[in-house]
Amino acid sequence: MSQTLVMDNRQIPTAFGQRTAFVLQWQYLDTLQLRAHLEEARQVLSAAGPENVSSVLGAMSEELSACSLLLSERISSLSPGTDLQEPTKNAGPFCRMFDSRTTCQERLEALLSGYLNYARTATILAGVPEILGDATSSQLMATILGVADRSIWLISFSLERLPPLGIDDASRPKVQPCA
In a domain, 2, yes or no: no
163 pLDDT higher than 80: no
* Alpha-carbon distances of 129 from 23, 107, 148, rounded to whole Å: 8, 33, 18
User: Would you say residue 57 has pLDDT above 70?
Assistant: yes
In a domain, 167, yes or no: no
Where helices occur in the chain by DSSP H, the ranges are 16-48, 51-78, 104-132, 135-161
Q: What is the model's pTM? A: 0.76
- Structural domain contains residue 174: no
Question: By CB neighbour count within 10 A (0-12 exposed, 13-18 middle, 19+ buried), where does 150 fall?
Answer: middle
Domain total in the chain: 1
Residue 144: domain span: 14-80+100-161
* pLDDT category of residue 24 using cuts at 50, 70 and 90: very high
In a domain, 76, yes or no: yes
User: pLDDT tens digit string along 96-120?
Assistant: 555 666 777 888 888 999 999 999 9
CATH no. for residue 126?
1.20.1260.10
Instruction: Flag whether 171 is in a domain.
Output: no
Q: Is 64 a domain residue? A: yes
Note whether residue 175 is domain-resident. no
Contact of 38 with 91, CB cutoff 8 Å: no
Is 48 within the bounds of a domain? Answer: yes
The long-range contacts involving 17-20, CB below 8 angstroms and separated by at least 24 positions, are: 17/78, 17/79, 18/78, 18/79, 19/128, 19/132, 20/78, 20/128, 20/129, 20/132, 20/134, 20/137
Higher model confidence: residue 139 or residue 174? 139
**Continuous segment of H or E residues that includes residue 5:** strand 5-7
**In the prediction, which pLDDT does 164 show?**
57
